[in-house]
Amino acid sequence: KMEHKFFEDKLRLQKEADKRITELAEKAHEEAVQNLNDTTRTIFTENVRMSEALRYHVLEGEELKAECERLTARAQKLEEEKELHDLIVKEKVVQVHKQAHQVTELKDKVRELLLSFMRVFVLFSFASLDRLSGGRPLFCEVGSRGAARRCFVCPCLLLVRSRC
């Protein structure tokens, strides 16, 4: 009997322990679910905040990408314009050098023509003066501020001849 009673007490204690373990497990599960709900709420709130931040950064990234593309296109256009302007400047420099060379050549030609003209004129003037002077010397006395001096009558300047 004692064994039986001991056995019954053992079963009863075992049932009580199992019941107590089950109650504790259910209580722990309920607390875990409640804690999980708090954590889930916190995670959901954090996810909403992060989603808004992500959306903002994605929009900002798209705007920056569009701005970058616009600026890249502008830089390319400016580079092409710069190259065009550089070519135009080079062409103008070459043109100015050619024109300067032409001006120098034309000035030299004018100088040569003037010298040729003066030679012809001098020869013509000497011939005319010789014919007009009838053998007289080609010098005359010209007064300069009251002082008399002897000068050569320049054939190029017939006005001097008229003062004599």
Separation between Cα atoms, residue 120 and residue 133, nearest integer Å: 19
Separation between Cα atoms, residue 44 and residue 103, nearest integer Å: 86
Q: What local confidence, expressed as pLDDT, does residue 43 receive? A: 84
Separation between Cα atoms, residue 129 and residue 123, nearest integer Å: 10
pLDDT-derived band at 82, boundaries 50, 70, 90: very high
> What mean pLDDT do residues 110-120 have?
93
Strands 147-152 and 139-144, sheet pairing? antiparallel
Separation between Cα atoms, residue 24 and residue 18, nearest integer Å: 10
Q: What local confidence, expressed as pLDDT, does residue 2 receive? A: 77
Q: What local confidence, expressed as pLDDT, does residue 70 receive? A: 97
pLDDT-derived band at 38, boundaries 50, 70, 90: confident
pLDDT-derived band at 84, boundaries 50, 70, 90: very high
> What mean pLDDT do residues 19-35 have?
88
> What mean pLDDT do residues 148-153 have?
46
